[in-house]
Chain A
């Protein structure tokens, strides 16, 4: 199936492994990725704080691009998902706001009619691609791994805008997927909590403690790795993990995988093809459990 694909800034920046692994799994999943190369950054909720009209227009532009493509807009980032879902919901429910955004992007030859569906890859696996197709693509069961899901706030909250009222099952997709891939999901409170990234530049030590605490909780429950659909969570949980260990005064050493990397492993790709050798926290300890090396 064809999707309008917005990779987000982080997969094109500090998390190239996310972009590479998404490209890798597209074919086995039958996804035709039509990348929206000229779509702007979603604003990550940061710009909208100070200038909502601006992010309405920029997000409206991206939604209009997908609409013109006649395809659903696919994200691979919980933050992009949350921002775009929220703006989309507001534009769809507030005619005046939609008209204002449209007046701004009309100069550039765009108009948003309000029909685009924004869907994270995680949702698409269950709702569009179909779990049977995912199961059929598995070449390597991840049996023996205990995996802690880490959703990231913006794919869960605000729940109304993210469509969780109509589809409450979205709260459990990661656990179901982990089981499908042959691994065991770890149940822990931190799964739906905040990684701390939004606060990293404002209150560094508290942001590091926030993310670190959740990893430690998962580790104490036996997790070999955490898997996240959000690269911003990944930046804090993987990129900053050594610093979080320093702040919390204890070793952590738990690898953090992006969702497409986990799928890619199960689909038979080698760790290096998924750039699992380019993490701050080495992934070897988890890969050994499925007899793989980086």
Chain B
């Protein structure tokens, strides 16, 4: 079967095949990532072939200068993460037939990461974040004697299967919306790994880890866009792990942050009136005594008022509010 592949080429020597046509610049915030040149190849492969099969065939038989990083070809090593039709994916797991749009498949190094050459990006930002969460066990004392192991309930390890499944391919970080505008954000992979250790009963530093993760750049800097859940080829669902960390951090007492104030103010409003009160939510989330924070939101508030978009000053409660309050009471927990 014949497949057409458009490969994003880049090299620092500025040497390209005459058929490689310059692509448009990337949209902001990636406008400083070098524009690629797209070279079109045609490959003859079976219907079940994957994108990586095509790239290897191109490199072996058509253009040996093509740089592509790969190893296991089985979605285990995580080497071949790249953009396929504009989204991060594993080349070895993406079937050409499924990824052929308008008769072709476009592959390129993601502009969210520094580029080295062709399809090879620099994974340094990824590994820096990974290491920043100290992805190793801090042994609980006493450590068992050398001929014995820690005994933990099976169920507590089953809880971590998703996180342990991570192969560090970086697909989640490549498409992370928060990372795109905030390079300091730890990102979905590192935070999912952080949960892997926070949730491990053998780890001694749970509390300290949650404190670190509650700081700027941590769990509260995720924008909740689900891109990482969508792109992860191994079902790690990093966002789900970030949300678990938020709950554990709040339960552990790390509540002096806008995220916790926001959730508390949100729930208070729903319990009071059944609906969200936008007029009080923002000031309470920023912190009522955070004068600078309040001033920063003021110009936007004034714009909204001038446009006639002010929420009703008298916040009406929904009919049957008692029912809602009883549900809050009955469920209990933080918002009771």
Please give the residue numbers on chain A whose beta carbons come within 8 Å of chain B beta carbons, in ascending order. Answer: 9-10, 12-17, 37-41, 43-51, 53-54, 57-58, 61, 104-105, 107-108, 153-154, 157-159, 188-190, 193-194, 196, 198-199, 201-204, 206-207, 209-210, 213-214, 216-217, 220, 239-240, 242-243, 248, 275, 278-280
Contact B300 A243 (CB under 8 A): yes
By the criterion of a CB under 8 Å from any partner CB, how many residues of chain B are at the interface? 68
* Least Cβ–Cβ distance between A231 and chain B, in angstroms: 11
Across-interface contacts of A57 in B (CB, < 8 A)? 327, 330-331
| Complex: chain A residue closest to B259, CB-CB | A202
| Complex: chain B residue closest to A240, CB-CB | B300
CA distance A32 to B295 in the complex (A): 44
Starting from the known contacts A49-B263, A107-B326, A209-B29, 17 additional A-B residue pairs (CB-CB under 8 Å) come to A13-B278, A40-B274, A41-B270, A50-B263, A158-B226, A194-B225, A201-B258, A202-B258, A203-B220, A204-B297, A209-B181, A213-B29, A216-B28, A217-B27, A239-B309, A242-B299, A248-B28
Query: Could you jot down 27 A-B contacts, CB within 8 Å?
Result: A9-B275, A12-B275, A13-B311, A37-B318, A38-B323, A39-B318, A41-B275, A43-B266, A46-B262, A47-B267, A49-B243, A50-B247, A50-B334, A51-B335, A53-B331, A153-B225, A159-B230, A193-B225, A198-B223, A201-B285, A202-B257, A210-B177, A239-B304, A239-B309, A240-B300, A242-B299, A279-B307
With A14-B311, A202-B262 in contact, is A157–B230 under 8 Å at CB? Answer: yes
**A-B residue pairs, 7 tightest by C-beta:** A157-B226, A194-B225, A9-B276, A217-B27, A201-B285, A38-B320, A13-B311
CA distance A242 to B306 in the complex (A): 13
Contact A203 B221 (CB under 8 A): yes
Please give the residue numbers on chain B whose beta carbons come within 8 Å of chain A beta carbons, in ascending order. Answer: 27-29, 86, 177-178, 180-182, 216, 220-227, 229-230, 243, 246-247, 250, 257-259, 262-263, 266-267, 269-270, 274-279, 282, 285-286, 296-297, 299-300, 303-304, 306-312, 318-320, 323-324, 326-328, 330-331, 333-335
* Least Cβ–Cβ distance between A40 and chain B, in angstroms: 5
* Least Cβ–Cβ distance between B214 and chain A, in angstroms: 11
Contact A44 B266 (CB under 8 A): yes
Contact A13 B312 (CB under 8 A): yes
| Complex: chain A residue closest to B318, CB-CB | A38
CA distance A105 to B331 in the complex (A): 10
Contact A158 B326 (CB under 8 A): no
Across-interface contacts of B282 in A (CB, < 8 A)? 201
B contacts with A: majority SS: helix
CA distance A289 to B274 in the complex (A): 41
| Complex: chain B residue closest to A212, CB-CB | B28
- In-complex Cβ contact of B327 among A17, A58, A190, A275 (8 A): A58
CA distance A58 to B333 in the complex (A): 14
- In-complex Cβ contact of A278 among B246, B285, B307 (8 A): B307
CA distance A58 to B320 in the complex (A): 13
Across-interface contacts of B277 in A (CB, < 8 A)? 13
- In-complex Cβ contact of A210 among B223, B262, B269, B327 (8 A): B223
Across-interface contacts of A58 in B (CB, < 8 A)? 270, 324, 327
CA distance A213 to B230 in the complex (A): 22
* Least Cβ–Cβ distance between B24 and chain A, in angstroms: 10
Contact A194 B177 (CB under 8 A): yes
Contact A194 B304 (CB under 8 A): no
Residue from B180, B262, B270 having most chain A Cβ neighbours under 10 A = B270
Across-interface contacts of B324 in A (CB, < 8 A)? 40, 58
- In-complex Cβ contact of B296 among A41, A154, A204, A279 (8 A): A204
| Complex: chain A residue closest to B311, CB-CB | A13
